[in-house]
């Protein structure tokens, strides 16, 4: 076994994506379609005094206009529909720039956008609260955060005692700016009604969450709503929850009795889809002369909207990352006139570990200890907060392997001692971590007598490779082939033939019926379907839980289907395997055979056909492993970077990067490495470029576009070397996986800040590290 799982196989949907055949939400054709343009508030605080749609309604092509006035109970400003009571009651009150006020529906997008400019709105504007300084006087300490699942204050031991034991204290403030998700695909919805039934094609990380939230907002039973999301061009948290454009599209479609398409502009992505709040982090680190931590205190201040609470949980990793007996983590929250922030790639860990890993580096220099050595001296052998053993942890091996690949032993410990011409060279490192969680998932496997194999579950592929790894798991369990166009053989073997031979069915039968993806890629023996709320339920693709949640269910359902067929064969007097012992049976290429006499074979299709069955269907549900509560479950990693800093210009280049991870069993080494390269790339952007600039007077985002909001381009990204420590976590699930989605952004900004210090002797505690800060 295990011929397919773990292999660096190409994506099942790769061809469709690179040839433009994959239909993303906004691409889906729909007859009689109309286009919606969302009209947004032009002020950040105040009240709408008049709204006049008359000229706009008369504009060419306009079908209808729905303002907050006409459906005041419906046009909420939805953020979490889990907390509808937190939503504003009055919708003429403006809480943030860009707040949706109306949707204009027209025959074409241009007509809708033009008509939107004709709606006359007058406001009574007030002075908005914009900056953290303005918010500070009314800052508060929330009792719990993340919808009550995390406490607002976490302590252990005795901070005063920890301070008394410390030979050295690092007390610093680190800040990170407001940051925005920038998925390549902007958010989009196509909504249409058939009677009381609503269908939405939706850019979402969670089809069932969207279904439930929409049901609540529209006051419909969830089963009246179908949510479809076949491909996603990135989500990163901004597509995790129901957003206003989806509700507006649904309402508008019901009103005009035609399908309505809404595609957010890039600028609307900045005001209507959440963001990562800026953070102000006060970090105190105490240690003995030997570098043993005696106290960690981490106070994180972040900002939220005027109407909802969202805390950036910067201390989440601080609590569990290092062995330290005395700890306090606390959150403070201020309110500004902005939309509510949301989850963004490693919420908490990404900015929090920048501060913690920077402070540890500062401590290492103060104690003249190697940055790896100080981390090893404080390595948490068990979860220091809960006292639970780790389900698996190979962080020490990550340090060791990373150091080896990077050549860390050649590092001169003194800052400003490594040079290359005009460039000061710096080497820095940091640790990474992210929790491993999982949820219940249900998977249906159908084997058809025609040779079709369908595996279905309502998960999502947000671009990470879910289609691919789940197809691998199913193929492995069912003994079917996985077709991968390889680099050695780019033109492909004849996939029709391959499919047909693997199932022993004529090619004419190959393309029948249940094609979820609809195209070439399903020439895979297995057609893996996801992204439709009509499929069995799987959890949201967020919090890095998809692999750990869905792969065991796929495995269990596929294994159960295989076993059913084997049982049918050995009990069937017409089967060549009649009377064989169960232990003697194995599967390959859609055939089951006797291990002792491999010429005795039967095929899935023949078994079904002989039994007069059109198909065999198995549905299985897996829940998180009950014993997993007895373990602390985290993925870990270590990241090493080399920077070159132009001494005169302050320009910073990341020249090399090595990341080594302890992330459980890896289902596909290629998609996993791609995920890590993406995460590290984002980390480089976070360290050196990203920053949302909000005008302090108007509360408007000034750089709500991809030319002014800087993210890395190819020329900014060095060779990134990625390694995984071999792990098979015995506690998370039957497949041995952990979390990998968000882990690789964590630590990168810290490693870069530490490398910049090593290069220049300047400690930059405020992201992004731009040249002006070094001059
Ligand atoms: Mo995420 S921030 O759970 O997409």
Q: Report pLDDT digits (tens) over 24-82.
A: 999 999 999 999 999 999 999 999 999 999 999 999 999 999 998 876 554 454 444 43
What is the 557 CA–ligand 1 centroid distance (Å)? Answer: 27
The answer, yes or no, to whether any atom of ligand 1 lies below 6 A from the CB of 679, is: no
Q: Which atom of ligand 1 is nearest to the CA of 543?
A: 3
Q: How far is residue 616's CA from residue 429's CA, in Å, rounded to a whole number?
A: 53
- Where does residue 759 rank: exposed (0-12), middle (13-18), buried (19+ CB within 10 A)? buried
Per the listing, tokens 């306009």 go with 62
Q: Which atom of ligand 1 is nearest to the CA of 235?
A: 4
By the 8 A CB rule, do 285 and 367 touch?
no
User: Is the N-terminal amide bond of 768 cis, ω within 30° of 0?
Assistant: yes
The answer, yes or no, to whether any atom of ligand 1 lies below 6 A from the CB of 344, is: yes
The answer, yes or no, to whether any atom of ligand 1 lies below 6 A from the CB of 345, is: yes
Residue 272: both structure tokens together: 């209507």
Q: How many Cα atoms sit within 13 Å of 526 on the Cβ side?
A: 31
What is the 239 CA–ligand 1 centroid distance (Å)? Answer: 8
The answer, yes or no, to whether any atom of ligand 1 lies below 6 A from the CB of 237, is: yes
What is the 542 CA–ligand 1 centroid distance (Å)? Answer: 4
Residues 6+ apart with CB under 8 A from 373: 291, 364
Q: Give the pLDDT confidence score for residue 71 in this predicted structure.
A: 63
Of 664, 658, 693, the residue nearest 676 (C-alpha): 658
What is the 349 CA–ligand 1 centroid distance (Å)? Answer: 12
CB atoms within 10 A of CB 252: 27
Which residues in 24-176 belong to E strands, given as ranges? 34-40, 46-52, 62-67, 93-94, 100-106, 120-125, 144-145, 150-151, 153-156, 168-176
- Where does residue 513 rank: exposed (0-12), middle (13-18), buried (19+ CB within 10 A)? exposed
Residues 6+ apart with CB under 8 A from 158: 326
By the 8 A CB rule, do 64 and 34 touch?
no
Q: How far is residue 412's CA from residue 417's CA, in Å, rounded to a whole number?
A: 7
Q: Give the pLDDT confidence score for residue 483 in this predicted structure.
A: 76
The answer, yes or no, to whether any atom of ligand 1 lies below 6 A from the CB of 738, is: no
By the 8 A CB rule, do 375 and 618 touch?
no
The β-bridge relationship of strands 34-40 and 100-106 is antiparallel
Q: Which atom of ligand 1 is nearest to the CA of 544?
A: 3
The answer, yes or no, to whether any atom of ligand 1 lies below 6 A from the CB of 543, is: yes
Strand order in the sheet with 453-456: 526-529, 453-456, 441-448, 615-622
What is the 569 CA–ligand 1 centroid distance (Å)? Answer: 45
Q: Give the pLDDT confidence score for residue 481 in this predicted structure.
A: 84
The answer, yes or no, to whether any atom of ligand 1 lies below 6 A from the CB of 593, is: no
The answer, yes or no, to whether any atom of ligand 1 lies below 6 A from the CB of 601, is: no
Output phi, psi for 127, to 5 deg: -80, 120
Residue 40 C-alpha from the chain's centroid: 28
Q: Atom 4, ligand 1: which residue's CA is nearest?
A: 237
Q: For 73-205, where are the alpha helices, taking DSSP H only?
A: 109-116, 132-135, 159-165
Q: Give the pLDDT confidence score for residue 521 in this predicted structure.
A: 43
Helices (H) and strands (E) in the chain, counts: 18, 29
Residue 78: both structure tokens together: 């939805």
The answer, yes or no, to whether any atom of ligand 1 lies below 6 A from the CB of 275, is: no
Q: How far is residue 19's CA from residue 24's CA, in Å, rounded to a whole number?
A: 13
* Catalytic residue selected from 309, 362, 642, 742: 742
Q: For 219-348, where are the alpha helices, taking DSSP H only?
A: 244-256, 266-272, 316-321
The residue count for the chain? 775
Output phi, psi for 632, to 5 deg: -90, 130
Site to probe by mutation for ligand 1, drawn from 179, 241, 275, 345 as the one with most ligand atoms within 8 Å of Cβ, is 345
Q: Which atom of ligand 1 is nearest to the CA of 238?
A: 4
Strand partners, 6: 668
Residue 682: both structure tokens together: 């984002």
What is the 628 CA–ligand 1 centroid distance (Å)? Answer: 22
Q: What angle do CA 516, 519, 520 make, to 5 degrees?
A: 125
Residue 138: both structure tokens together: 């009314």
Mean pLDDT per 10-residue section of the chain, whose length is 775 residues: 84 90 94 97 95 97 91 48 49 89 96 98 97 95 87 96 97 98 97 98 96 89 97 96 91 96 97 96 98 98 93 97 98 96 97 98 98 98 98 98 98 97 97 98 96 94 96 94 56 36 37 35 77 98 98 98 95 95 90 92 94 96 92 98 97 98 97 98 98 97 97 96 97 96 98 98 98 96
What is the 345 CA–ligand 1 centroid distance (Å)? Answer: 5
Long-range residue pairs from 285-288, CB within 8 A, at least 24 positions apart, any chain: 285/169, 285/170, 285/171, 285/359, 285/360, 285/362, 285/363, 286/162, 286/163, 286/165, 286/166, 286/168, 286/169, 286/170, 286/326, 287/166, 287/167, 287/168, 287/363, 287/367, 288/165, 288/166, 288/167, 288/168
Residue-by-residue DSSP string for 700-750: -BTT-STTTS----GGG--EEEEEE-----TTT-TT-B---SSGGGTTHHH
Catalytic: 89? no
Q: Which atom of ligand 1 is nearest to the CA of 346?
A: 2
Site to probe by mutation for ligand 1, drawn from 742, 745, 746 as the one with most ligand atoms within 8 Å of Cβ, is 742
Q: Which atom of ligand 1 is nearest to the CA of 205?
A: 4
Q: Which atom of ligand 1 is nearest to the CA of 343?
A: 2
The answer, yes or no, to whether any atom of ligand 1 lies below 6 A from the CB of 542, is: yes
Site to probe by mutation for ligand 1, drawn from 182, 343, 682 as the one with most ligand atoms within 8 Å of Cβ, is 343
What is the 209 CA–ligand 1 centroid distance (Å)? Answer: 14
The answer, yes or no, to whether any atom of ligand 1 lies below 6 A from the CB of 206, is: no
Would you say the C-alpha torsion 377, 382, 386, 390 has a positive or negative sign? positive
What is the 38 CA–ligand 1 centroid distance (Å)? Answer: 25
Q: How far is residue 137's CA from residue 540's CA, in Å, rounded to a whole number?
A: 37
Residue 404: both structure tokens together: 């080896």
By the 8 A CB rule, do 639 and 747 touch?
yes
Which DSSP letter does residue 124 get? E
């Amino acid at each position: 076994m295990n011929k397919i799982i773990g292999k660096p196989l190409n994506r099942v949907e790769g061809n469709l994506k690179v040839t433009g055949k994959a239909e993303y939400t906004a691409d889906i054709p729909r007859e009689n379609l109309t286009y919606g343009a969302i009209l947004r508030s032009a002020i950040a605080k105040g009240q709408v005094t008049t709204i006049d749609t008359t000229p706009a309604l008369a504009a060419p092509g306009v079908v209808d206009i729905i303002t907050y006035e006409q459906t005041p109970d419906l046009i909420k400003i939805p953020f979490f529909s889990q907390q509808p009571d937190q939503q504003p009651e009055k919708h003429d009150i403006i809480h943030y720039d860009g707040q949706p006020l109306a949707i204009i529906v027209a025959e074409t997008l241009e007509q809708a956008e033009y008509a939107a400019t004709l709606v006359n709105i007058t406001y009574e504007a007030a002075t908005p609260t914009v900056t953290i300084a303005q918010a500070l006087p009314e800052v508060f300490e929330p009792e719990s955060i993340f919808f009550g699942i995390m406490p607002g204050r976490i302590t252990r031991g005795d901070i005063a005692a920890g301070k008394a034991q410390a030979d050295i204290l690092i007390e610093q403030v680190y800040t990170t700016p407001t940051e925005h998700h920038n998925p390549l695909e902007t958010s989009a919805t196509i909504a249409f009604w058939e009677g009381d039934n609503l269908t939405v094609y939706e850019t979402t990380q969670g089809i069932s969450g969207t279904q439930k939230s929409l049901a609540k907002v529209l006051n419909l039973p969830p089963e009246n709503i179908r949510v479809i999301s076949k491909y996603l061009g990135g989500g990163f948290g901004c597509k995790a929850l129901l957003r206003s454009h989806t509700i507006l599209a649904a309402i508008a479609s019901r009103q005009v009795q035609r399908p309505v398409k809404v595609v957010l502009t890039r600028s609307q992505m900045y005001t209507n889809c959440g963001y990562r709040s800026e953070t102000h982090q006060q970090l105190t680190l105490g240690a003995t002369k030997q570098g043993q931590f005696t106290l960690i205190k981490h106070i994180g201040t972040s900002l939220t909207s005027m109407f909802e609470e969202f805390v950036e949980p910067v201390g989440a990793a601080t609590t569990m990352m290092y062995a330290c007996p005395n700890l306090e983590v606390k959150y403070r929250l201020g309110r500004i006139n902005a939309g509510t922030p949301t989850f963004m790639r490693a919420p908490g860990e990404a900015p929090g570990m920048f501060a913690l890993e920077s402070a540890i580096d500062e401590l290492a220099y103060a104690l003249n200890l190697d940055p790896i050595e100080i981390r090893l001296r404080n390595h948490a052998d068990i979860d220091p907060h809960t006292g639970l053993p780790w389900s698996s942890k190979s962080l020490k091996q990550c340090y060791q392997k990373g150091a080896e690949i990077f050549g860390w032993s050649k590092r001169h410990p003194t800052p400003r001692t490594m040079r290359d011409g005009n460039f000061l060279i710096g080497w820095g490192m940091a640790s990474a971590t992210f929790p491993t969680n999982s949820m219940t998932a249900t998977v249906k496997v159908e084997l058809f007598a025609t040779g079709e194999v369908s595996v279905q579950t309502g998960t999502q592929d947000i671009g990470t490779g879910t289609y691919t790894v789940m197809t691998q798991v199913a193929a492995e369990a069912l003994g079917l082939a996985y077709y991968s166009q390889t680099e050695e053989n780019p033109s492909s073997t004849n996939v029709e033939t391959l499919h047909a031979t693997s199932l022993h069915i004529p090619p004419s039968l190959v393309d029948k019926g249940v094609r979820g993806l609809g195209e070439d890629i399903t020439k895979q023996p297995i057609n893996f379907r996801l992204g439709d709320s009509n499929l069995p339920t799987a959890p949201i693709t967020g919090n890095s839980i998809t692999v750990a949640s869905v792969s065991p269910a796929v495995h269990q359902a596929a294994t159960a289907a295989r076993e059913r067929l084997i049982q049918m064969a050995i009990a069937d007097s017409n089967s060549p395997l009649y009377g064989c012992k169960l232990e003697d049976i194995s599967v390959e290429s859609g055939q089951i055979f006797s291990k002792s006499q491999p010429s005795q074979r039967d095929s899935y299709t023949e078994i079904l056909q002989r039994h007069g069955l059109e198909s065999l269907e198995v549905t299985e549900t897996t829940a998180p492993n009950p014993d997993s509560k007895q373990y602390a479950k985290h993925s870990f990693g270590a990241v090493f970077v080399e920077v070159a800093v132009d001494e005169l210009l302050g320009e910073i280049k990341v020249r090399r990067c090595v990341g080594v991870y302890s992330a459980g069993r890896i289902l596909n080494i290629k998609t996993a490495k791609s995920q890590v390269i993406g995460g590290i790339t984002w980390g480089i952007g976070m360290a050196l470029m990203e920053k949302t600039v909000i005008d302090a007077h108007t509360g408007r985002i000034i750089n709500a576009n991809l030319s002014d909001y800087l993210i890395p381009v190819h020329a900014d990204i060095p060779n990134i070397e990625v390694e995984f420590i071999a792990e098979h976590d015995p506690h998370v699930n039957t497949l041995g996986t952990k979390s990998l989605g968000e882990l690789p952004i964590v630590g990168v900004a810290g490693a870069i800040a530490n490398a910049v210090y090593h290069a220049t002797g300047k400690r930059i505690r405020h992201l992004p590290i731009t040249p002006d800060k070094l001059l």
